[in-house]
Structure 1
Amino acid sequence: MKKEITIYDLAKELNYSPSTISRALNNHKSISPKTIKKVKEQAEKMGYRPNTLAAGLRNNKSNTIGISISRINRHFLSSMISGIEETARKSGFNVIISQSDDKYENEVRNLKALYDSRISGLIVSLSMETVNTDHFKPFINQGIPVVFVDRVPQGFNTYKVVIDNYSAGYNATKHLIDKGCKRIAHFAGAQHRNVYQERKKGYLDALREHNIPVDEQLIIHFKTLSFEEGEKATNKLLKLPIPPDGIFSANDTAGVSAILCAKKKGVKIPEELAIIGFNDDPISSIVEPALSTMSHPAMKMGKIAAKRILNHSYKNHDEEVSEITVLRTEIIQRASSDKK
């Protein structure tokens, strides 16, 4: 392994003091443009890299935003990250991304690593398993801004960026009702997560307000809303004496699974079974018939979250921050619910 080039090596090569080299690399006004150019050209020639970690240790923070998500391969989360990164980059910030694989223990471990890296702010979408939020307290105690996006904890005062999940759940269900559905099933996510709890409430209220009885057999609770869970749930529903004529899935993955499973059983979609999902993942427009869904402004949510970090004063706050941004969603109608 080659020796790491330091400012002392540059100083020796150029016959400048280490302090002059340091100021030149940081474009200090006391150093002439000619000297700055000379130092930077020599630094590039010798392969010098600034030690940002050391700078973070000195300043007790770095120009880095930490991101903790469940799975990076989910379209919603990858779009959210794009929004964060684009906004951070414009302000000279970098990002560090960690994924929990929806496991609480992984999230705790990842957050400790981010904390030890002296990040300037943290953006989080909680893992499916997370209930206890004690692992966020060190950030709050140190005045490090924390922004929760989409999956947010209850009763935790900080920045939050969410959509109106209740209205989205209500509108998705009403869409199926307006298409003539009378027995609407719901693929519900884990109910300790705010997003799935609110979507289910919207579903229930839409049924009640349109005088459609709530049938508990038609509500299936999932652990992760995976493709496999969607297939299993659809098989179960289609075996009922009176199967549903509509399904509102709390995500697109399970909704697409329902389409494919129903087609294998010879069920006509949407004539016999209308389906709507949630998130507008790319897979929703590829499946045949294409899946109706609810939009989810992931990139916008990421940009707003990053701005909350960048606009934070970084000073000690006498009171806890409590600020919630709520964005709206809309129905994207495709063939899976387009009953004539």
Structure 2
Amino acid sequence: MKRHQITIVDIAKELNLSKSTVSRALTGHPSVNAVTRQAVLDLAEKLDYQRNMLAISLVTRKTNTIGIIVPEFTSSYFPNITIGAQEVASKAGYNTVICQSNETYETEVANTKVMLANQVDGVLVSITKETKNFDHLKIFQRKGIPIVFFNRVCDEMDVPKVIVDDYDGAFRAVNHLIERGRKRIAHLSGPPSLKISEKRLNGYKAALRKNNIELDEDLVIPYDLNLDKVHIYVNHLLNLPHPPDAIFAINDPTAIEIIQVVKKRGLQVPEDIAVVGFSNDFASGLIHPSLTTVSQPVKEIGGTAAQLLIDQISRDVSEWKSIIRVLKTELIVRNSS
């Protein structure tokens, strides 16, 4: 037998209130006193009432939904950022629609269409390694839908951004290796298309300069974040006439793969070659040896980005164009260095 769908009329009859009063109570209208509002909410929960969000959005022009687009979910980094964003969004009364782009531009474009189809009130975005054209993201601006970038950002768009100090984090990571006596430090860097790759590379170079170590271009290898290729680059470095005594990696998944390749070559970490990553991924403290890494405040990144987005939604977007929040990193020294 088909179950009766609870409506506003049912709640109104039960509490002897008008439909308009119940409707205003359910949407948090200030004209309804706190006692009445709570009575309506309690009964709605008891009866398992489901609000018609489409009808509400037609009246309020809001869906109370924000979108989150991330490039991948293969490590713990972006899931934890998403959790931080969801916690802030939920407290503010927003639902979330989450899409991951599988590190491809085409999927990212498709994900933006999903967000537009769901009529999100705003969107948080971290771009893929392939993204060089941003027309699909500029659509949100043209439609007056607030957008905030985090981690991997687009400099072409004058919107709020939340990043960490990648330059300083990389500088301290490489300086740490030098303080441990390492002189030939290689860097397996990320795609040049990503600003985080550029900033971490610049931090690496600055640490070398500070310690009067000449940059050896043969020790710097940019790659596309495809972990299947790490063994090719690491073996190339180890086969050099003067191989490195340390490697600083663009991120933790890369660093963990480096450790596995080094061990397969019969070398010891850190005795023969030290390894440092970036992100403090969940697995970095579990592998052997445990990974020295640059920790990022991932939940704070997500929470800060979500709050900036919610502030935009509730205020004039133009007030927030120049905001860039730069969060600090922390060097976590473990056994790989």
| Whole-angstrom distance in 1 between the partners of 2:79 and 2:11 | 43
Residue of structure 1 in register with 2:173 after alignment:
172
Q: Give the drift of 1:308.
A: 0.6
Residue of structure 2 in register with 1:5 after alignment:
5
Q: Aligned partner of 2:255: which letter?
A: G
Q: Which runs of 5+ in 1 are unaligned?
A: none
Note closer, same or farther for the CA distance 1:225–1:201 as it changes in structure 2 (3 Å cut): farther
User: Residue 255 of structure 2: SS of its match in structure 1?
Assistant: helix
Q: Give the drift of 1:213.
A: 2.4
Residue of structure 2 in register with 1:109 after alignment:
110
Q: Tell me, yes or no, if the aligned pair for 1:11 and 1:17 is still in contact at 8 Å.
A: no
- Confirm whether residue 305 of structure 1 aligns to residue 310 of structure 2: no
Q: Give the drift of 1:30.
A: 5.7
* TM-score normalised by length of structure 1: 0.88
| Whole-angstrom distance in 1 between the partners of 2:131 and 2:58 | 30
Q: Tell me, yes or no, if the aligned pair for 1:5 and 1:47 is still in contact at 8 Å.
A: no
Note closer, same or farther for the CA distance 1:320–1:141 as it changes in structure 2 (3 Å cut): farther
Q: Tell me, yes or no, if the aligned pair for 1:5 and 1:46 is still in contact at 8 Å.
A: no
Q: Aligned partner of 2:306: which letter?
A: A
User: Residue 188 of structure 2: SS of its match in structure 1?
Assistant: strand
- Deviation string 1:292-337 (CA, Å, 9 cap, x unpaired) is 0001111111111111122226455567712101112121111110
Of residues 96-105 and 70-79 in structure 1, the stretch that sits farther from structure 2 once superposed is 70-79
Residue of structure 1 in register with 2:212 after alignment:
211
| Whole-angstrom distance in 2 between the partners of 1:329 and 1:296 | 5
Residue of structure 1 in register with 2:60 after alignment:
59
Q: Which runs of 5+ in 2 are unaligned?
A: none
Listed as ranges, the matches of 1:1-340 within 5 Å are 2=2, 5=5, 7=7, 10=10, 18-19=19-20, 21-23=22-24, 25-26=26-27, 29=31, 37=39, 41=43, 47-226=48-227, 228-312=228-312, 314-317=314-317, 321-337=321-337
Q: How many residues align?
A: 335
Q: Tell me, yes or no, if the aligned pair for 1:293 and 1:333 is still in contact at 8 Å.
A: yes
User: Residue 101 of structure 1: SS of its match in structure 2?
Assistant: coil
Q: Tell me, yes or no, if the aligned pair for 1:25 and 1:40 is still in contact at 8 Å.
A: no
| Whole-angstrom distance in 2 between the partners of 1:320 and 1:24 | 31
Of residues 21-30 and 327-336 in structure 1, the stretch that sits farther from structure 2 once superposed is 21-30
User: Residue 279 of structure 2: SS of its match in structure 1?
Assistant: coil
| Whole-angstrom distance in 2 between the partners of 1:250 and 1:168 | 11
| Whole-angstrom distance in 1 between the partners of 2:210 and 2:20 | 72
| Whole-angstrom distance in 2 between the partners of 1:45 and 1:85 | 25
| Whole-angstrom distance in 2 between the partners of 1:267 and 1:253 | 20
Q: Aligned partner of 1:113: which letter?
A: V
Q: Tell me, yes or no, if the aligned pair for 1:188 and 1:196 is still in contact at 8 Å.
A: yes
| Whole-angstrom distance in 2 between the partners of 1:39 and 1:255 | 51
* TM-score normalised by length of structure 2: 0.89
| Whole-angstrom distance in 1 between the partners of 2:186 and 2:204 | 9
Note closer, same or farther for the CA distance 1:222–1:125 as it changes in structure 2 (3 Å cut): same
| Whole-angstrom distance in 1 between the partners of 2:180 and 2:100 | 39
Q: Aligned partner of 2:234: which letter?
A: T
Q: Give the drift of 1:232.
A: 2.3
Q: Give the drift of 1:269.
A: 1.4
User: Residue 145 of structure 2: SS of its match in structure 1?
Assistant: coil
| Whole-angstrom distance in 2 between the partners of 1:90 and 1:173 | 40
| Whole-angstrom distance in 2 between the partners of 1:263 and 1:249 | 16
Q: Tell me, yes or no, if the aligned pair for 2:25 and 2:36 is still in contact at 8 Å.
A: no
